[in-house]
Chains A and B, each alone.
Chain A
Amino acid sequence: MDRHTTGFRIGWYTVNVLIGATMIGPFLWMLLTAVKDAGSVFVFPPELLPRRWEWSNFASVWEAVPFGLFYLNSLFVGIAVTCGQVTTSALAAYAFARLEFPGRDKLFFGYLATMMIPQAVIMIPVFIVLRSLGWIDTYKALILPSIFTAYGTFMLRQFFMSIPRDLEDAARVDGCGPVRILRNVVLPVSKPAIVTLAILTFMATWRSFMWPRIVIHTIEKSTLPIGLQAFQTLHETEYTLLMAGSVMAVIPVIVVFVLGQRAFVKGILLGAVKG
Chain B
Amino acid sequence: MYKKTIFLMSLLLSNILYAQKIDNITGLVIDKGLGKVKENCTICHTGRFIVVNGGDRAFWQNKVRIMQVAYGLWKIEKEDKEALLTYLSKNYSKKKNISINE
On whether the two chains bind one another, the answer is: no
Chain A interfacial positions (CB closer than 8 Å to B): none
